[in-house]
Amino acid sequence: MIKKISTTLLVLCLVVLNSCKLDLLDNPNAVTTSNTDINYLLNQIELSYAGHFNSLSDPGMRLTRMLNQGSAIYDNAVSPGNFDGAWTTAYAAILTDVKTIIPLAEKAELFVHAGIARTLRASVLINLVDAFGDVPYTEAIDPTNFNPGVDAGATIYKSALTELDEAIKNFAATSKAGAPNDLIYAGNADSWTRVANTLKLKIYLNMRLTDAAGSTTAINSLIAGGKLISTATQNFAFKFGSNLTNPDTRHPRYGGQYSSTGGGDYQSNSYMGTLYSSKGFPDPRIRYYFYRQTIKNPTDVNALRCVNNSKPAHYSDSDVFCLPSTVGYWGRDHLSNEGIPPDGLLRTAWGVYPAGGSFDNDAGVPVSLGAGGGGAGIHPIMMRSFVDFMLAESALTLGTTGVAKDLLKSAIEKSMADVRTLALGTNESGKIATFEAASGTVWASEVTKYVTKVLADYDAATTNSQKLNIIGTEYWLALHGNGIESYNLYRRTGKPSNQQPALDPSPGGFPRSYYYPASYITRNAKAVQKANVTTSVFWDNNPAGMLK
Average pLDDT of the segment spanning 402-429:
98
Is a pLDDT exceeding 70 seen at residue 17?
no
**Given pLDDT bands bounded at 50, 70 and 90, which one contains residue 177?**
confident
CA 5/CA 25 separation, integer angstroms:
12
Closest C-alpha to 366, from 467, 433, 295:
295
Q: Is residue 189 predicted with pLDDT exceeding 80?
A: yes
Which string of DSSP letters, residue by residue, matches 96-123? HHHHHHHHHHHHTT-HHHHHHHHHHHHH
Per-residue model confidence (pLDDT) at position 36: 73
Which stretch of 11-25, 144-158, 261-275, 461-475 has the lowest confidence by average pLDDT? 11-25
Cβ count near 32 (within 10 Å): 10
Residue ranges and CATH numbers for the domains of the chain are: 38-187 (1.25.40.390), 251-376 (no CATH)
CA-nearest of 92, 116, 96, 90 to 36 is 96
Is the peptide bond between 180 and the residue preceding it cis, with omega within 30 degrees of 0?
no
Closest CA to 274 of 90, 476, 11: 476
Residue 268 clears pLDDT 60, i.e. is over it: yes
CA distance 385 to 70: 30
**Mean pLDDT of all residues in 472-476:** 98
Band (pLDDT 50/70/90 cuts) for residue 21 is very low
pLDDT above 80 (res 424): yes
d(CA 493, CA 450): 23
Q: Is residue 8's pLDDT more than 80?
A: no
Q: What is the dihedral of CA 396, 400, 401, 404, to 10 degrees?
A: -10
What phi and psi, each to the nearest 5 degrees, are found at residue 95? -65, -35
Is 9's pLDDT higher than 70?
A: no
pLDDT at 522 over 70: yes
Residue 543 has pLDDT above 70, yes or no: yes
Angstrom distance (rounded) from CA 490 to CA 486: 6
**Cα–Cα–Cα angle for 20, 26, 32, nearest 5°?**
125
pLDDT score, position 5:
34
Q: Which helix (H) or strand (E) holds 135?
A: strand 135-136
Is the predicted pLDDT of residue 24 greater than 70, yes or no?
no
3 state SS for 276-313 = HHCCCCCCCCHHHHEECCCCCCCCCCCCCHHHHCCCCC
Contacts of 42 (CB under 8 A, 6+ apart): 101, 113, 116, 117, 180, 181, 182
Q: Say if CB 405 and CB 391 are below 8 A apart.
A: no
460 to 431, 463, 470: CA distances (angstroms)? 38, 9, 11
Residue 27: its pLDDT value, please? 55
Q: How far apart are CA 331 and CA 315, in angstroms?
A: 17
**Averaged over 79-104, what is the pLDDT?**
97
Closest CA to 493 of 508, 503, 479: 479
Handedness of CA 418, 421, 427, 431 (dihedral sign): positive
Name the 3-class secondary structure at 236: strand
Q: pLDDT at residue 6 above 60?
A: no
pLDDT in tens, 428-447: 999 999 999 999 999 999 99
- Please, which pLDDT band fits residue 94 given cuts at 50, 70 and 90? very high
Distances (CA, A) of 504 to 123, 173, 313, 314, 500: 35, 56, 10, 9, 12
Whether the pLDDT of residue 500 is over 70: the answer is yes
Structure confidence at residue 178 as a pLDDT band (50, 70, 90): confident
- Render 361-406 in DSSP notation, one character per residue: -S------TT-TTTT--EEEEE-HHHHHHHHHHHHHHH--SS-HHH
Cβ neighbors of 143 (< 8 A, separation 6 or more) are none
CB–CB of 507/73 below 8 Å?
A: yes
Task: Give pLDDT, residue 30.
Answer: 54
- Cα–Cα dist 374/387, whole Å: 29
Query: Residues 357, 378: contact at Cβ < 8 Å?
Result: no
Mean pLDDT of 496-503: 96
- Range from 22-31, 416-425, 518-527, 535-544 carrying the lowest mean pLDDT: 22-31
Radius of gyration of the chain (CA): 24
Least Cα distance to 37 among 100, 96, 89, 90 occurs for 100
Q: Sorting pLDDT into bands at 50, 70 and 90, what band is 32?
A: low
Contact indicator for 212, 398 with CB cutoff of 8 Å: yes
Mean pLDDT of 215-242: 98
Question: % helix / strand / coil in the chain, to the nearest 5?
Answer: 50, 5, 45
User: pLDDT tens-digit profile of 34-74?
Assistant: 657 999 999 999 999 999 999 999 999 999 999 999 999 99
Average pLDDT over residues 404-432: 98
What mean pLDDT is reported for the chain?
Answer: 94
- Identify which of 66, 18, 52, 17 has the alpha carbon closest to the alpha carbon of residue 478: 66
- Please tell me whether residue 19 adopts helix, strand or coil conformation: helix
Distance between CA atoms of residues 404 and 463, nearest Å: 13
Evaluate if residue 356 carries a pLDDT over 60.
yes
Bond preceding residue 354 cis, omega within 30 of 0: yes
pLDDT of 129 reads 98
Examine the pLDDT at 10 and tell me if it is beyond 90. Answer: no
User: What integer pLDDT is reported at residue 58 of this predicted model?
Assistant: 98
483-493 vs 38-63: helix crossing angle, rounded to 10: 50
